[in-house]
Amino acid sequence: MEIIKELIIGLFYIIVFPGLLFLVIYGGLSEWLDRKFYAQMQNRQGPPWYQPFADIIKLMSKQVIIPKAADKKMFKILPFIAIAAINTSIFMIPIFSNSALYGFRGDIIAVIYLLSIPTATLFLIGWSSTSPYATIGSMRVLTQLFAYEVPLLIAVLGPCILAGSWSIEDVAVFFTNNPWLMLVNIIGFLVAIVALQGKLERVPFDIPHAETEIVGGVFTEYSGRLYGFMRLALDMEMVVVAALINAVFLGGSFGYSGWIGLLLFVIKTEFVVFLLSVLKAAMARVKINQMVDFCWKWLAPFAILQILICIVARFMING
pTM: 0.94
Q: Helix or strand or coil: residue 19?
A: coil
The span from the CA of 310 to the CA of 162, in Å, is 5
Q: How much is the pLDDT for 319?
A: 63
| CA-angle at 64, arms to 62 and 68, nearest 5° | 155
The span from the CA of 219 to the CA of 309, in Å, is 41
Q: How much is the pLDDT for 35?
A: 94
Angle between helices 258-282 and 186-199 (to 10 degrees): 70
E strand or H helix at 236: helix 224-249
The span from the CA of 228 to the CA of 211, in Å, is 18
The span from the CA of 172 to the CA of 249, in Å, is 8
Angle between helices 107-129 and 168-177 (to 10 degrees): 130
The span from the CA of 77 to the CA of 73, in Å, is 6
Query: How would you write the pLDDT of the chain (319 residues) with one tens digit per residue?
Result: 778 888 888 899 999 988 899 999 999 999 999 999 999 988 888 999 999 999 999 999 988 888 888 888 888 899 999 999 999 999 999 988 888 888 888 899 999 999 999 999 998 988 888 788 888 888 888 889 889 999 999 999 999 999 999 999 999 999 999 999 999 999 999 999 999 998 998 888 888 777 766 677 788 888 889 999 999 999 999 999 999 999 999 998 888 888 898 999 999 999 999 999 999 888 877 888 888 999 999 999 999 999 999 999 988 887 6
